Amino acid sequence: GAVVSQHPSWVICKSGTSVKIECRSLDFQATTMFWYRQFPKQSLMLMATSNEGSKATYEQGVEKDKFLINHASLTLSTLTVTSAHPEDSSFYICSAIRGGDTEAFFGQGTRLTVV
């Protein structure tokens, strides 16, 4: 099956610093990658959709200058949380779709804690 690897799995950072999260499709080319955020006891909320080589499309209410997404290749997308605040503490998950598929494959998630 298709594998999506997300790194790091957890990170603690200080307020004001930036954190980069990587999402890699290991055995397929991902035409589209998605980034989600999940607060405790809540559902996954789509933050942005990322297509290789083009700018990400952000959902309403998600600051594109704060959550920088780079989809440099068909196997790698990165999410950078800039100037992190404690309220950015959350579980961030990426997913990837193979060309022609509708099924999404999820990374393991990254638990971010901003102190």
Partner 1 sequence: RKEVEQDPGPFNVPEGATVAFNCTYSNSASQSFFWYRQDCRKEPKLLMSVYSSGNEDGRFTAQLNRASQYISLLIRDSKLSDSATYLCVVTLNNNDMRFGAGTRLTVKP
Residues near partner 1 (CB under 8 A): 6, 32, 34, 36, 42-46, 49, 91, 93, 95, 97, 102-104, 106-109, 111
Closest approach of partner 1 to the CB of residue 35, in Å: 12
CB of residue 16 vs partner 1: minimum separation in angstroms? Answer: 26
Within its chain, how far is the Cα of 115 from the centroid? 20
* Greatest C-alpha distance within the chain: 42
In what side-by-side order are the strands of the sheet with 19-25?
4-7, 19-25, 76-81, 67-73
86 cis-preceded (ω within 30 degrees of 0): no
Shorter beta-carbon distance to partner 1: residue 3 or 72: 3
Question: What minimum distance in Å lies between the beta carbon of 77 and partner 1?
Answer: 14
